[in-house]
Amino acid sequence: RIIQEKGLTKSHLGTLSLASAANGDVTAWCILAVVIAIAQSGTFAGAIYTILFTILFLLVMFYVVRPFLNIIGNIYKNKEVMTKNIVAFMLLILIICAYTTEILGVHALFGSFLAGVIMPANPKFRKIMTEKVEDVSLSVFLPLFFVSTGLKTHIGLISTPHQWMTCLAFIALAVVSKVIGTAIPARITGESWKDSWSLGALMNTRGLMELIVLTIGLEMKILPDVIFVMLVLMTLVTTVMTGPLLNFIDFCFEKKVKTEEKEKIQVKIPSKFHLLLSFGRASSGSILLNVANQVFSKGRKPLSLTALHLTVGTEINPIYMENFEEDSFKPLKEEAQALNLEVETCFDVTNDVGKKITDMVNDSGYDFLLVGAGISMSKLPEDIEASRYKDMYYEKYFSKIGASESWFYPGDLLKDKTHHFISEANASVGIFVNRNFEQATKVIVILDKPEDVFLLEYASNLIQSNEATVCIHEMNAEIRENRISERRLGEFLIFNNNISVVSKSQLSIKILSESDFMLVSYNTWVRISEEEKDALQLMPSTLIINQKSRK
């Protein structure tokens, strides 16, 4: 979870730390099995039979049961054929493994761990099984385990200065052994100092595995109560300190990292128009790509496209992420192939979508950010219902009592981030309102202020892309009175055909209903969305643009 929240999931550091932690856990489980066997028997010699039978059990599970389960996994790898009998059979395997290791004198938890290891390797099957059991296990059983551990932890047992010093010694030894013991070998094997220290900080996280070991030790009377409390505190401290420790490491290496990032940004080809396309629903990705192709492909600079999809919620199981990425980008990649476009894709998991997008725009030097409009502008039935709920219930009742959005309202999924993009992004921003968009052939351009004439460049692109007809709707005489805007408008009319001009202070319902695409500046949109609500009921698909020069 820490790796996900830090955005390290696909990084070299994230992959290496997860692999190291997994190997560490497997080793710990094996050592734990031996320790329990010895503790149950009283001596190492008495534990030999237990260890031998456990090894025999492992061989049977890995070389007999696991190949059979792999066959089942390859057959039942989609929800259509997955039956309750298969789920019940897998749970039966879990129970048998746990019961067998308990009989052997190892511990039921070791058998449960083994059952997870021998599950079919097919990722689709694992994903389905995880969906079946994870919600209940994480929402019910895991909290109960933490509550149970907390009830057994009587901090008052550490009552003397000597005991507190012992507890601090445990914590210091635990931190030094993990951080130093990981960082030095990592550096020797070729990792940078930053990655080496970060790997040490991540490996210092003990979390659930440590608590399980301590609970077993307490139940088997191996650990005295006071030592159990000390080690639980050590587990909590070393886990909680991971985030701050990673931040401290980043701070220490910040100057060097910023210099490297700056150099990377300068490497970008300035002769290209870099556009970041960010979408939520998989279906909207292909639509936004189509819009980007029609509006920007005939611009003065060659178009460089990057498509970004963010999944909300860092608590998402890593097993799902690859599937989410594949499913989310599938329609967009098909559309890109049909349009013969090269698109770079980027996928990430975050709890703050707005900040993640604007940080990417600002740090990577994009010229334009294209996003879909919020649900408040959507005409999809489910979005209309969600907006109605937000207006009628959440904002009227729950928000007044200070209730968190995450309690009664899926905040970050439905929140309108338009203002955040406009204010925080150091690039031009386009917000697309979809009204069954297919092709921009009848375009209306709304000009309300002299500064709105920048829209004419986008209209020119559409004329070249689609041979579109363009209607310029002048809502203010000030446009003709301004020398610069008058000149740019005159040049546009001279060098383009199929252009008509309408001078009217209010939007024409007839023209809106006959158009299939509208271009409007953000400031003008803010005004007309309040003053021209009736006319905008018939508006076509619309691109709202806030023009901004790169700093």
DSSP codes joined into one string, 30-78: HHHHHHHHHHHHSSHHHHHHHHHHHHHHHHHIIIIIHHHHHHHHHHS-S
pLDDT at 397 over 70: no
Residues listed for the chain = 551
Q: Hunting for tokens 């698909």 — which residue is that?
A: 541
The two most distant CA atoms of the chain are separated, in Å, by 100
CB-CB neighbours of 109 under 10 Å: 19
**Strand partners for 470:** 443, 499
The whole-number average pLDDT for the span 413-440 is 82
Q: Residue 497: which pLDDT band, with cuts at 50, 70 and 90?
A: confident
The CA-atom distances, in angstroms, between 154 and each of 135, 221, 239, 522 are 30, 16, 19, 60
Q: Which two tokens stand for residue 385?
A: 């219902």
Confidence at residue 412, expressed as pLDDT on a 0 to 100 scale: 40
Q: By C-alpha distance, which of 298, 275, 281 is closest to 332? A: 281
pLDDT at 263 over 60: no
- Enclosing H/E stretch for 418: helix 418-424
The whole-number average pLDDT for the span 458-481 is 90
> Given the DSSP bridges, would you call strands 428-433 and 343-350 parallel, antiparallel or unpaired?
unpaired
Beta strands in 303-459 (DSSP E): 303-312, 343-350, 368-372, 428-433, 442-447
292 or 255, which is more confident: 292
CB-CB neighbours of 27 under 10 Å: 10
Which of 24-28, 322-326, 368-372, 414-418 is least confident?
414-418
The whole-number average pLDDT for the span 370-391 is 61
Q: By C-alpha distance, which of 419, 469, 412, 416 is closest to 440? A: 469
Q: Is 58 exposed, middle or buried (0-12, 13-18, 19+ CB in 10 A)?
A: middle
Q: Hunting for tokens 């271009």 — which residue is that?
A: 519
CB-CB neighbours of 344 under 10 Å: 10
Half-sphere exposure of 328 (CA within 13 A, CB side): 21
Contact 318, 9 (CB under 8 A): yes
123 or 329, which is more confident: 329
The CA-atom distances, in angstroms, between 314 and each of 6, 310, 319 are 9, 11, 13
pLDDT at 373 over 50: yes
pLDDT at 91 over 70: yes
| Distance of alpha carbon 334 from alpha carbon 323, whole angstroms | 17
Q: Residue 304: which pLDDT band, with cuts at 50, 70 and 90?
A: very high
The whole-number average pLDDT for the span 236-258 is 83
Which of 177-181, 262-266, 467-471, 520-524 is least confident?
262-266
Q: How much is the mean pLDDT over the chain?
A: 84
Contact 308, 277 (CB under 8 A): yes
pLDDT at 415 over 50: no
| Distance of alpha carbon 474 from alpha carbon 372, whole angstroms | 26
Phi, psi of 97 (to 5 degrees): -60, -45
Share of the chain above pLDDT 90, in %: 36
Confidence at residue 135, expressed as pLDDT on a 0 to 100 scale: 78
pLDDT at 314 over 60: no
- 421, amino acid identity: F
Using one digit for the tens of pLDDT, what is the confidence trace for 97-116?
999 988 888 888 888 889 98
Confidence at residue 265, expressed as pLDDT on a 0 to 100 scale: 47
pLDDT at 399 over 60: no
Which of 2-6, 372-376, 424-428 is least confident?
372-376
Q: By C-alpha distance, which of 444, 446, 496, 433 is closest to 467? A: 496
CA angle 388, 394, 395 (to 5 degrees): 90
Q: Residue 285: which pLDDT band, with cuts at 50, 70 and 90?
A: very high
Q: Which two tokens stand for residue 370?
A: 């294209």
pLDDT at 264 over 50: no
| Distance of alpha carbon 531 from alpha carbon 389, whole angstroms | 25
Query: pTM above 0.85?
Result: no
Confidence at residue 403, expressed as pLDDT on a 0 to 100 scale: 45
Contact 434, 372 (CB under 8 A): yes
Sequence-distant (≥ 6) Cβ neighbours of residue 84 within 8 angstroms: none
The whole-number average pLDDT for the span 381-408 is 49
pLDDT at 408 over 50: no
